[in-house]
């Protein structure tokens, strides 16, 4: 039987950050609840509710609503003076005069979600938030990060493209102190019941509805994974929302990385979009180290979750030259993999540096995360040769 501890916090109770971790897990559970409702309505409606940002990437009411909700919860529970947050979204688009409908939808979504706070063991607001309070909660996430003090890094919806396509996405929240990630929480609302389904892009929902009777509680769909630095443990909770009977306190089971060391048996994952990572470079690298399986292409930080859960062994991302990785796209995933027993570095073998502000400055070429040191060593050892023979 699998070990189960109440929340997995029993060993952490006297430890630093236990209150922050507890609140962060609840906030991410709520965010997942919010996202599931928005994703359902996005997919069932024909009207497009997806906006394009300046860099042409998508943003939806879920991105803003999660940012507002998590910001509000952290401020209410920890005190707004103690909370600094760096996050992906801002209020620029929402504040435009022609965005009144969009803002209204965000305010409604936030209030609908916050009204459910007691199910997550949190206090709901006394009265519904008005639009100025929602905008304020979003724009309060204006920390610039850096080497000193404590701040949260939030990606309200990571893999927005996967989200709008009805596929994988994640909610990512990390606490960074003096440049080091100390807590990571990753919500993966569509994490499938069977790891094979991770790669069924687009068809995912059809498969689920065909194979899962509508009455099924589908316990294993979706999870929240979290870890505290130095604990040597990573924990996973089922999602609260699909289960009317599930209320706080939730249960947690430990997760561990895979023990596979043989590249021929290992699965590597990478971004779905070629624009986000060079598929041809990783194919060459995979070939040279003897990774024989097809790459598992998954949107978002669900890739980090897959490594931490032992469902894949390697994650590689090599963005185009000039692209600077943002800290909120990696912080939570990195600490979760490390505490679950894995290794994460840049392509030169150095740890990722979360102390330089919004970006992972100084990142050497790409990111390589592995279930174990041996696999990691092999891949790092092969990067230079592949790099020199590629045109990246």
Please give the angle made by the CA atoms of 261, 267 and 271, to the nearest 5 degrees.
Answer: 135
Q: In the stretch 326-365, what mask flags binding to ligand PPS with x, by CB under 6 A?
A: x--x------------------------------------
> Exposed (0-12), middle (13-18) or buried (19+): which is 182, by Cβ within 10 Å?
buried
Q: Does 89 bind ligand PPS (CB under 6 A)?
A: no
Q: Which of 172, 192, 193, 191 is nearest to 183 (CA)?
A: 172
Q: Which of the 8 DSSP states describes residue 24?
A: H
Where do we find the tokens 């306190």?
249
Q: Does 275 bind ligand PPS (CB under 6 A)?
A: yes
Those residues whose C-beta lies under 8 Å from the C-beta of residue 277, and which sit 6 or more positions away, are 270, 271, 316, 317, 318, 319, 366
Structure tokens at 312: 């894949």
Say how many CA atoms lie within 13 Å of 94 toward its Cβ: 26
- Residue pair 281/318 in contact (Cβ under 8 Å)? The answer is yes
Residues 15, 188: Cα–Cα separation, whole Å: 26
CB-wise, 237 or 282, nearer to ligand PPS?
Answer: 282
Candidates 196, 273, 364, 384; binder of ligand PPS (CB under 6 A) is: 273
Coil, strand or helix at 289: helix
Q: Does 314 bind ligand PPS (CB under 6 A)?
A: no
The binder of 89, among Mg ion, ligand PPS, none, by C-beta within 5 to 8 A per type, is none
Minimum CB separation of residue 170 from ligand PPS in Å reads: 8
CB-wise, 158 or 233, nearer to ligand PPS?
Answer: 158
Output the residue with the shortest Cβ distance to Mg ion.
Answer: 158
Question: Stretches 5-13, 144-152, 270-278, 377-385: which one binds ligand PPS (CB under 6 A)?
Answer: 270-278
| Binding residues vs Mg ion (CB under 5 A) | 57, 88, 155, 157-158, 160, 329
Q: Which of 305, 300, 370, 373 is nearest to 333 (CA)?
A: 305
Q: Is 384 a catalytic residue?
A: no
**Binders of ligand PPS in range 136-195 (CB under 6 A):** 155, 158-162
Structure tokens at 12: 């952490």
Neighbouring C-beta atoms of residue 342, cutoff 10 Å: 27
The binder of 311, among Mg ion, ligand PPS, none, by C-beta within 5 to 8 A per type, is none
Coil, strand or helix at 377: helix
Q: Which of the 8 DSSP states describes residue 149?
A: S
Minimum CB separation of residue 272 from Mg ion in Å reads: 13
- Active site residue: 22, 60, 63, 282, which one? 63
Minimum CB separation of residue 272 from ligand PPS in Å reads: 4
Q: In the stretch 53-72, what mask flags binding to ligand PPS with x, by CB under 6 A?
A: ----x---------------
The binder of 319, among ligand PPS, Mg ion, none, by C-beta within 5 to 8 A per type, is ligand PPS
The binder of 8, among ligand PPS, Mg ion, none, by C-beta within 5 to 8 A per type, is none
Q: Which of 334, 273, 279 is nearest to 301 (CA)?
A: 334
Q: Does 88 bind ligand PPS (CB under 6 A)?
A: yes
Candidates 206, 323, 324, 361; binder of ligand PPS (CB under 6 A) is: 323
Minimum CB separation of residue 198 from Mg ion in Å reads: 18
Report the binding-site residues for Mg(2+).
Answer: 88, 155, 158, 329
Minimum CB separation of residue 69 from ligand PPS in Å reads: 16
Structure tokens at 212: 């899962």
Minimum CB separation of residue 274 from ligand PPS in Å reads: 8
Neighbouring C-beta atoms of residue 180, cutoff 10 Å: 16
Where do we find the tokens 């279930």?
371
Q: Does 384 bind ligand PPS (CB under 6 A)?
A: no
CB-wise, 155 or 311, nearer to Mg ion?
Answer: 155
- Active site residue: 60, 160, 267, 345, which one? 160
Q: Is 178 a catalytic residue?
A: no
CB-wise, 238 or 333, nearer to ligand PPS?
Answer: 333
Structure tokens at 162: 């996967």
Please give the angle made by the CA atoms of 10, 14 and 15, to the nearest 5 degrees.
Answer: 95
Where do we find the tokens 């497009």?
48
Residues 189, 147: Cα–Cα separation, whole Å: 32
Which spans of this chain sit near ligand PPS (rule: CB under 6 A)?
57, 88, 155, 158-162, 271-273, 275-276, 299-300, 317, 319, 323, 326, 329
Which residues are annotated as catalytic?
A: 63, 160
């Amino acid at each position: 039987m699998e070990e189960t501890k109440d929340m997995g916090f029993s060993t952490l109770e006297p430890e630093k950050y236990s209150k922050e971790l507890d609140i962060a897990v609840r906030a991410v559970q709520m965010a997942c609840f919010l996202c599931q409702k928005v994703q359902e309505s996005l997919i069932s409606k024909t009207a497009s509710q997806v906006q394009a940002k300046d860099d042409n990437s998508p943003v939806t009411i879920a991105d803003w609503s999660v940012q507002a909700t998590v910001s509000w919860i952290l401020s209410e529970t920890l005190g707004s003076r103690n909370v600094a947050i760096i996050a992906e979204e801002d209020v620029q688009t929402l504040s435009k005069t022609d965005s009144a409908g969009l803002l209204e939808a965000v305010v409604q979504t936030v209030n609908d979600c916050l009204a459910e706070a007691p199910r997550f063991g949190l206090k709901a607001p006394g009265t519904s938030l008005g639009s100025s309070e929602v905008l304020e909660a979003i724009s309060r996430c204006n920390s610039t990060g850096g080497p000193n003090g404590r701040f949260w890094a939030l990606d309200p919806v990571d893999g927005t493209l996967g989200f709008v396509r009805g596929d994988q996405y994640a909610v990512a929240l990390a606490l960074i102190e003096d440049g080091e990630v100390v807590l990571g929480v990753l919500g993966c609302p569509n994490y499938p019941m069977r790891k094979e389904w991770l790669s069924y892009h687009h068809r995912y929902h059809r498969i689920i509805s065909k194979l899962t009777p509508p009455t099924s509680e589908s316990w294993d769909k979706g999870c929240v994974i979290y870890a505290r630095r130095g604990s040597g443990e990573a924990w996973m909770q089922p999602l609260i929302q699909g289960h009317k009977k599930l209320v706080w306190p939730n249960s947690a089971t430990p997760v561990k990385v895979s023990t596979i060391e043989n590249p021929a048996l290992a699965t590597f994952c990478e971004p779905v979009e070629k624009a986000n990572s060079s598929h041809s470079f990783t194919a060459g690298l995979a070939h040279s180290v003897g990774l024989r399986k097809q790459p598992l292409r998954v949107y978002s930080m669900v890739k980090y979750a897959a490594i931490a859960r032992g469902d894949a062994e390697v994650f590689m991302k090599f963005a185009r030259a000039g692209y600077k990785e943002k800290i909120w796209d990696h912080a939570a995933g990195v600490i979760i993999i490390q505490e679950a027993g894995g290794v994460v570095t840049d392509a030169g073998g150095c740890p990722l540096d979360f102390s330089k502000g919004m970006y992972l400055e100084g990142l050497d070429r790409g990111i390589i995360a592995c279930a174990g040191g041996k696999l990691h060593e092999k891949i790092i050892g092969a990067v230079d040769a592949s790099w020199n023979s590629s045109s990246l």
